[in-house]
Amino acid sequence: MIKNGQILYIYDAKLTNPNGDPDEENRPRMDYERDINLVSDLRLKRYIRDYISDKENLIYVRKLNDSSVNPKQIIDADKIENKEQALENYVDVRLFGATMAIKDKTMIFTGPVQFNWGYSLNKVELIEAGITSHFATDEKKSQGTMGRDYRVKYSFIAFSGAISGKRAVYTKLKEDDLTLLDDSMKNAIKEQFTRSKIGQYPRLYIRIQYKDTDTMFDDLRKLVKINETCQNVRDISEITLAVDELKSFIDKEEEKIDKIYYFVDESINLTLEKKSCKLEDVISKVKNIKKL
């Protein structure tokens, strides 16, 4: 049986566009009042879906023959006849849920795995540059297009997620699906890059699995903080992440925790009581831990 869980996920972005806003000339999404970079949950789920698909798993939210299509075309192409068949076939529906029409009947699946919007833990500056595309239309004529390219100088982005054991029953979420999710969180962003997305790397991932389907705590991002001296950051080597509150939380709630799954990039500098530490020092009180 799937239990409740929570996720803390941190990656960084250097001279890239983590999540363009189509209403703002594709500028990186920003909270300009606080100079905080924002990334939607849909952007993160897109990375995960594409990675899952690349591993030869069927997903529902996708294109057909590299073209966008309506959901009914997906259902027809996969020859889905009923609810049970849909849940058995689509990994992303078991994870994130979906709304779909099967045999003219609309079905709504609320996904057990959800993320809120990510935001940078540091203040972020944007860089803007002109770009030119030049295409020859024949031997004598040419046609060019001008545009703007917007990127962040450096963004240290944190996501929080939650897993509902009770919802997992209705979407038939499997342990193998969560294993695939863990693998996606570790590898998807660095592998699913495009021209505007290259320069992003996963730095830290923690999935806490609780012992029941009732336990749930507040946003785990509140338990980590970058050092106040981390100003005008341009590289991961300039980041120091204090994890004192995260350790205190895990130590306090250890009896409610069944298992912790994690990975940490060696480039990130973690501190406890202002001294460098390893992530294993933070989660050591939990007996059952698994490094991904």
Asked if residues 46 and 39 have their Cβ atoms less than 8 Å apart, the reply is no
Q: Residue 15 pLDDT > 80, yes or no?
A: yes
Mean per-residue pLDDT, 180-189? 97
Average pLDDT, the chain: 92
More confident residue, 54 or 67: 54
Mutual angle of helices 41-54 and 175-191, in 10-degree steps: 100
Q: Is residue 207 part of a domain?
A: yes
125-129, 170-174, 226-230 — most confident range: 170-174
Q: Is residue 91 part of a domain?
A: no
Alpha helices in the chain (DSSP H): 41-54, 71-77, 83-89, 91-96, 165-171, 175-191, 244-252, 279-283
pLDDT of residue 79: 93
Domain range for 172 is 5-58+109-291
Q: Is residue 82 part of a domain?
A: no
More confident residue, 143 or 256: 256
Per residue in 239-291, pLDDT tens?
A: 999 999 999 999 999 999 999 999 999 999 999 999 999 999 999 999 999 99
Q: Is residue 259 part of a domain?
A: yes
Mean per-residue pLDDT, 105-130? 94
More confident residue, 162 or 72: 162
Mean per-residue pLDDT, 224-245? 91
Structural domain count of the chain:
1
Q: Residue 134 pLDDT > 60, yes or no?
A: no
What is the rounded CA–CA span in Å between residue 202 and residue 82? Answer: 37
Q: Is residue 213 part of a domain?
A: yes
Q: Residue 226 pLDDT > 60, yes or no?
A: yes
Give the list of residues 6+ apart from residue 5 with CB closer than 8 angstroms, or none. Answer: 162, 163, 165, 178, 207, 208, 209, 210
Asked if residues 285 and 250 have their Cβ atoms less than 8 Å apart, the reply is yes
Per residue in 261-272, pLDDT tens?
A: 999 999 999 999
- Predicted confidence band at 130 (pLDDT cuts at 50, 70, 90)? low
Mind giving me the DSSP string for 237-258? GG-EEE-HHHHHHHHHTGGGEE
Amino acid of residue 226: I
Record the tokens describing residue 140, joined without a space. 């004598």
Q: Is residue 66 part of a domain?
A: no
pLDDT of residue 42: 97
Q: Is residue 247 part of a domain?
A: yes
pLDDT of residue 244: 98
Q: Write the CA distances from 19 to 61, 151, 176, 185, integer angstroms.
A: 19, 10, 29, 17
Q: Residue 121 pLDDT > 60, yes or no?
A: yes
Mean per-residue pLDDT, 49-65? 93
Q: Residue 69 pLDDT > 90, yes or no?
A: no
What is the rounded CA–CA span in Å between residue 152 and residue 32? Answer: 13
What is the rounded CA–CA span in Å between residue 181 and residue 5? Answer: 13
More confident residue, 136 or 187: 187
Nearest to 264 by CA among 185, 202, 204: 204
Give the list of residues 6+ apart from residue 256 with CB closer than 8 angstroms, or none. Answer: 210, 211, 212, 215
Q: Is residue 143 part of a domain?
A: yes
pLDDT of residue 103: 87
* Cβ neighbours around 80 below 10 Å, total: 20
Per residue in 187-215, pLDDT tens?
A: 999 987 777 788 999 999 999 999 999 99
Q: Residue 144 pLDDT > 80, yes or no?
A: no
pLDDT of residue 48: 97
- Predicted confidence band at 145 (pLDDT cuts at 50, 70, 90)? low
